[in-house]
Structure 1
Amino acid sequence: MKKLLTFTAACALATALATGAFAAEYTKGTVKKVDLKGKKVTIIHEELKNLDMPAMTMVFKVADDAMLEKVKEGQEIEFSADRINGNLTVVDLKE
């Protein structure tokens, strides 16, 4: 019985991954400021549904410092964000 439950759970996870149920949700925004020293970016963004936040301007940390080299002030971007260790963080940039 335990093997059947494990198999069923594995199948459900594989199906969810294949259908994109766990795909990152991207939000549109405009880069207002890039802080290389502080490793942060300020973004005027649309609603962040996964964080239950309305459209606003916010400062985000970045999950990877290389992201800071990919953006510049005034640039339109699509990004995904999440709360990591209590900090709002850009985790991916759509290219």
Structure 2
Amino acid sequence: MKKTSILIAAVAALAFGSAAAAAQEYTAGEVTKIDAAQKKLTIKHGELANLDMPAMTMVFVVAEDSMIEEVKVGQKIEFTADRVNGRITVTDIK
């Protein structure tokens, strides 16, 4: 019984670690438009594997207002995106 508990804990740790790593994958993109009033960025981006989305240009809302001030039109970025309250949202920019 003890071996089973250890095995289950190990599998759970691996599964959680993999999910966390996948959520933090950065995607290359280029900012093509900024709408500060609506807190939206238009980004030409590569594949977003976690959202099962091919490369394209699309509009994203930002998770934090300060992200709008971090970028300029034409800037190359790396970012993460996820569904937040039903909206595809930029969650981090580096």
Richer in helix (by share) = 2
**Which residue in the other structure is 2:91 paired with?**
91
Give the alignment of 1:12-91 within 5 angstroms: 12-13=12-13, 16-17=16-17, 21=18, 22-23=20-21, 24-91=24-91
Q: Secondary structure at the match of 2:38?
A: coil
Identity among equivalent pairs (%): 59
How many pairs were matched up?
Answer: 89
What residue ranges of structure 2 are gaps of 5+ in the alignment? none
CA RMSD of aligned residues (A): 2.3
Q: Secondary structure at the match of 2:59?
A: strand
- Give the residue type in structure 1 aligned to 2:53: M
- State TM-score, norm by structure 1: 0.80
**2-side partners of 1:63 and 1:10: how far apart?**
33
* Pairwise CA distance, 1:11: 8.4
What residue ranges of structure 1 are gaps of 5+ in the alignment? none
